[in-house]
Structure formats: structure tokens, C-alpha cells
Amino acid sequence: MTRIACVQANVLFGDSEANAEKAIHDLEVLKQQGVELAIFPEAFLTGYCVESTEEAKNISIAKNSEAIHVLHQASIRLDMIVVAGFAEAADEGLYNTAVLLEPGKEPRFYRKSHLPELGLDKFVCQGHGALEVFETRIGKIGILICFDMRFPEASRVLALKGAELLILPTNWPDGAQVTADYIAVARAAENRIYVATCDRVGEENGFKFIGKSKIIDPRGTVLASAGGIEEMIIADVDLAFAREKRVVTIPGKYETETLKARRPDLYTELTRDLSG
């Protein structure tokens, strides 16, 4: 079993180093509780609610920033895996990014692929490249960010690539309750994988965030859930369970295959470009 946690927290807008220090304090608390993987929200290190490209640039940090460096050092010192979101400043533009920090490995990154017309996402580039499953010491992890989960294809691709745990740092504002309460549960059940969603709380530049972080097992059972305040939720997960894609309800009479029963020949419409 692996103990994981979602840290549902408020964020200090535009102060990445202070947010990193806050995260380190939380990691020290979680270490005492035996947590091996800790997840923080989307744009946790930087904040999210901006109204212009200039504001987005002002809060963005590079992959090699001091905030990420000190968080990585803390993950090494505490021997924990950490996932946290931030607004990324890269040479080619801005991105909404999550970093995966694991002792003994260089930081790894995922850039948000699907962008709503909201906050930071109005001023960043789409993530490019294949959806990646990260090999870690606890198992195979896929990362999506917030609005990415609204597209079932993204979660399914990660499941087909072997993801056992899908991590979703998110900034769900008021109005996203359906995603928090139902869509996240559906993604776990339809792919037979664990899903951990980590939202933020509080208000930022006129937006209020709803919380409702969850850790969900491959049957769609909610193992731990949060309300609308700062809190940490913890659950023990057996990632080997996510590799069991055949569901036996009545042996020999009622059995289903989550992935092998798919009909890709019927799904070609999924790849049709609607942008024109």
C-alpha cells in the first residue's frame, strides 16, 4: 500500500518562494503521517487569476526557479514524491505546468493541454507532445491539469499507456461542482485507475475556489474527500489494483473488460478536426 495526500490550500498570489515554504511545512507534517506522495493544486506556486499577458508574465517562474529548487530539495530530504502546479515562463512562451519531484531523479514536467478561456489559461500556450506516463518508485503516474479532465480521451490515453494513478492539480472555481463531484469519479471508474484531484481554496482577484478535492479508487469509490476549506486529505492506495482491468461480478456469468472490450473502429470520429 502507498499513502498519498492532497493538500487543499490557499495560495499567496505572485509569491512563489513563500508558497514553496508553505508547501515544505505541509510536507513535514505529512511525512510524520507516513505519506509517500503529496499533491498540491494547479498554479500553487504562483497563483492563477490574471487579466493580461503582462500579469501572467509577472507571476510566472522558470523550471529552474528557486521555488522549484527548494521544493525539490525538501522532497529529497523528506524522501517524498511531490506534484505541484505553477505558471511557467519558458523561452518560447508561457505554460500552465505541473512539476513531478522524486528523490533520485531530475524534475519532470507536464504542460496543460486543454485550455479554457479563464485566468492564466487565456495567456499561455497549449502543452504539446504525447501525454506521458511517468515511471516512479510507487508506480505509473499520469498527470493532467484541471480542464484536461473534461476530455475523456486524455484520461483514457493515459490508462491505455498503463497509468495506475491519475493526478489532477486543479483550480476549480464556483460552477465546477459537477467536475469535482461526478466527472472525476467517472474517470476513475471508466478507466479502472486511481484518481487524485487537488483543488485550491480561497479567493484570488475576484475568483472563489470551491475545494472538493478527492482521492478515488478504480471502482469509483471515494476514499477521501475535502470540503471548501484548507485541509489535507490522505488515503492508502494499492496501485496494483489499477492493473486489474477485468471485472468479475459473477464468475463465468458476469464478467467485463474495461479496455479490451473497446471498439476503436467505431471511434474514428473522435480524431476529426473541428477547428475549421
- C-alpha pair distances (Å), 60 with each of 21, 54, 93, 124, 141: 17, 10, 10, 10, 25
Q: Count other Cβ atoms within 10 Å, centred on residue 244.
A: 11
- C-alpha pair distances (Å), 54 with each of 45, 50, 112, 117, 123: 18, 9, 20, 17, 9
State the catalytic residue, choosing from 55, 88, 112, 204. 112
Residue 42 a catalytic site member: yes
**Residue-by-residue DSSP string for 104-171:** TS--EEEE--S--SSGGGGSSPPP-S---EEEETTEEEEE--GGGGGSHHHHHHHHHTT-SEEEEE--
Residue 112 a catalytic site member: yes
Q: How many Å from the N-terminal Cα to the C-terminal Cα in the chain?
A: 48
**Would the CA dihedral through 243, 249, 253, 255 be positive or negative?**
negative
- C-alpha pair distances (Å), 97 with each of 48, 85, 232: 11, 6, 22
State the catalytic residue, choosing from 42, 55, 102, 164. 42
Say how far apart CA 73 and CA 195 lie, in whole Å: 26
SS3 96: strand
What is the DSSP secondary structure assignment for residue 271, as one 8-state letter?
A: G
* Single-letter code of the amino acid located at 55: E
Residue 208 a catalytic site member: no
State the catalytic residue, choosing from 6, 49, 146, 198. 146
- Hey, which residues are catalytic here? 42, 112, 146
